Amino acid sequence: MMFDKSAQPGREDPATPGALHVAVIMDGNGRWAQNRGWPRLVGHRKGAERVRKLVEACPDLGIRYLTLYAFSTENWKRSTEEVLGLMTLFARYIRREADRMKREGVRLRFIGDRTRLDDDLQALIRWIEAETAENDRVHLSVALNYGGRDEIVRATRAMVQDVAAGTLSAEQISDATISRYLDTRDLPDPDLVVRTSGETRVSNFLLWQAAYAEYVFTPTLWPDFTPATMGTILKDFAVRERRFGGVKT
């Protein structure tokens, strides 16, 4: 079912309790490992363990939608060893967590351009998405080979093709229309974006969707990030005044 972007929380109305969408830029895995004299991939494996803990804690934290930035369109610039290791880690995570996600009501989606991923990983992604499609307790989205600009370019190409085919007119294009062509068409926009490791960049993540999101930048490296850390961030988020372009009256 497509999410109704025009009626979602965060436009004029406050977010619906229990439907909080938190997006996380999981940064600092490599540095965490290097600080201990270990290979960077050790940090990525530790980071995957943190993903499991956070997903398990989502219902208690009031998070229904969790989107994680796992691998960007720019991350292909890393060493071949690290890239191959990460792709293996993604496949291993899907296989290892499949039963747990089905049992605990987690729906897993992947956003990003899949065409550059190898055929086996693409098949595995399609399989886990189908296996968890009926789950509704926690909606976990993993951004894999994802970039906000790339996503907008792909959406624009699709709209141009539909205009050329006569199924869409230029006059019909609105912000809601554009949202329906994005990878996140089935998701509400994020309420909160968290970046770990002390970096204060958005790094091409959910550029369209996070237009009115609140941001938190924490010095905690991702492998040290716990559900308790998220709980503290959410307490601060709960007292923020979100005006969405308006003024306090």
Active site residue 75: yes
pLDDT of res. 240: 85
Rg (CA), the chain: 18
Q: Examine the pLDDT at 242 and tell me if it is beyond 90.
A: no
The one catalytic residue in 75, 113, 150, 204 is 75
Q: What is the pLDDT of residue 96?
A: 96
* pLDDT tens-digit series, residues 220-238: 999 999 999 999 999 999 9
To the nearest 10 degrees (0 to 180), the angle between helices 80-104 and 40-61 is 20
Share of the chain above pLDDT 70, in %: 90
Q: Does 135 participate in catalysis according to the annotation?
A: no
Whose tokens are 């996070």? That residue is 210
Count CB-CB contacts under 10 A for residue 157.
11
Q: What is the pLDDT of residues 27-61, one digit of tens each?
A: 999 999 999 999 999 999 999 999 999 999 999 99
Residue positions forming the annotated binding site for substrate: 28-32, 40, 44, 72-74, 76, 78, 195, 201-203
Question: What are the pLDDT digits (tens) for 197-213?
Answer: 999 999 999 999 999 99
Residue 249 confidence (pLDDT) above 60: no
- Residue tagged active-site, from 4, 27, 120, 189: 27
Q: Which fold has domain 17-146+189-238?
A: Undecaprenyl pyrophosphate synthetase (3.40.1180)
- Indicate the annotated binding residues: 27-32, 40, 44, 72-74, 76, 78, 195, 201-203, 214
Buried b / exposed e along 181-207 (16+ C-beta atoms within 10 A)? bbbbeebbbbbbbbbbbeeeebebbbe
Half-sphere exposure of 91 (CA within 13 A, CB side): 14
Ordered by start, the domain boundaries in the chain are 17-146+189-238
Task: Report the C-alpha gap between 180 and 159 in whole angstroms.
Answer: 10
Which residues are part of a known binding site for Mg(2+)?
27, 214
- Give the integer Cα–Cα distance in Å for 249 and 243: 10
Threshold 0.85, pTM exceeds: yes
Beta-sheet strands, E only, within the chain: 20-25, 63-72, 106-111, 138-146, 192-195, 214-217
